[in-house]
Amino acid sequence: MTRHIRVRGAVAAILVSLTCAGSIAAEPFPFDRELLLDAAPMRPGKRMPLLTVEANGSGRIDLWCRSVPARIEISDTAMKIESGPLPEGQPELMSAGQCTPERMQADEELLAAMSQVTGWHWDSEDLVLEGLKPLRFRSSDH
């Protein structure tokens, strides 16, 4: 009888530790933080794409040249991004030659990839947006 109680106790302890470990591993979405796209820089210019999401679902996507507002729905591991339209012209504050045709094309491609995002998960310290093309982001240090 005491052996049976010990086995039950051990099984219960294992289940509790697995439940606790699972809840610790599931980090919440990083609201109100600048998330930097994990990509090689595009020259000329130093600007890198950033994603910022507020807890109320408002967001901002800073692309290679342009920026757009976004509405972002997040639940558990599901995600949907609806962005505003890309501005037609180049940003006023960019220096001459910084927004090359290649960078403006990259804006369109990145925005299209973000509109196809269906979920998110953590991979080590990277936030991965899941879709046709996975996008990796890290917390910005500036």
CATH number (2.40.128.270, 3.30.450.20, 3.40.710.10, 3.40.50.300) of 28-139 reads: 2.40.128.270
Bridging pattern class, strands 126-130 and 135-139? antiparallel
Three-state secondary-structure class, residue 98: coil
Output phi, psi for 96, to 5 deg. Answer: -55, 135
Categorize the per-residue pLDDT at 43 as very low, low, confident or very high, splitting at 50, 70 and 90: confident
pTM (two decimals): 0.78
The answer to whether residue 119 scores a pLDDT higher than 70 is yes
- Residue 3 binned pLDDT confidence (cut-offs 50, 70, 90): low
* Tens-place pLDDT, residues 22-38: 434 478 999 999 999 99
How far, in Å, CA of 73 to CA of 129, rounded? 13
- Looking at the chain, the whole-number percentage of residues with pLDDT higher than 90 is 65
Tokens of 11: 């099984």
The pLDDT value recorded for residue 5 is: 52
pLDDT in tens, 60-107: 999 999 999 999 999 999 999 999 999 887 666 666 677 889 999 999
For the chain, the 3-state helix, strand and coil shares in percent, each to the nearest 5, are 25, 30, 40
Angle among Cα 48, 54, 58 to the nearest 5 degrees reads 90
